[in-house]
Amino acid sequence: MAQKQWEPCPRCGSNRVQSRGTVFFALIGIVLIGISIWLLIIPPIGIAGIIFGALFLAIAPFTKSIVQCEDCKHSWKYPYKEKVIKKG
């Protein structure tokens, strides 16, 4: 995990957590756009891939502190804040 603080998975308690931050989403967007440019020989697939790649690049700056458990695949924002449900 890239953060200085360590946090286990809030769902399963696993120690195997992985940071999924800005660089991860930006690389997915760049790779998707690169592959989609070659797929422009089939226009609907190529254009859709470029649009999804651009969306990944657009959301990348907003995903700075997302962490994912490698065991149960649960994703959460670091640090984890438990949701409080009000009764009544």
CA gap 14, 56 in Å, rounded: 28
Average pLDDT along the chain: 81
pLDDT-above-70 percentage for the chain = 82
Q: What are phi and psi of 62, to 5 degrees?
A: -95, 0
pLDDT at 60: 84
In a domain, 83, yes or no: no
**Does residue 11 belong to any structural domain of this protein?**
no
Q: Is 37 a member of any domain?
A: yes
- Other C-beta atoms closer than 10 Å to the C-beta of 30 total 14
pTM of this structure: 0.58
Structural domain includes residue 72: yes
Residue 4 lies in a domain: no
More confident residue, 56 or 85: 56
In the chain, the number of structural domains is 1
- For residue 82, being part of any structural domain is answered with no
Q: Is residue 85 part of a domain?
A: no
Q: Is residue 44 part of a domain?
A: yes
Sheet of 17-19: strand order equals: 17-19, 66-69, 75-77
What pLDDT does 21 receive?
A: 75
Residue 16 has what pLDDT?
84
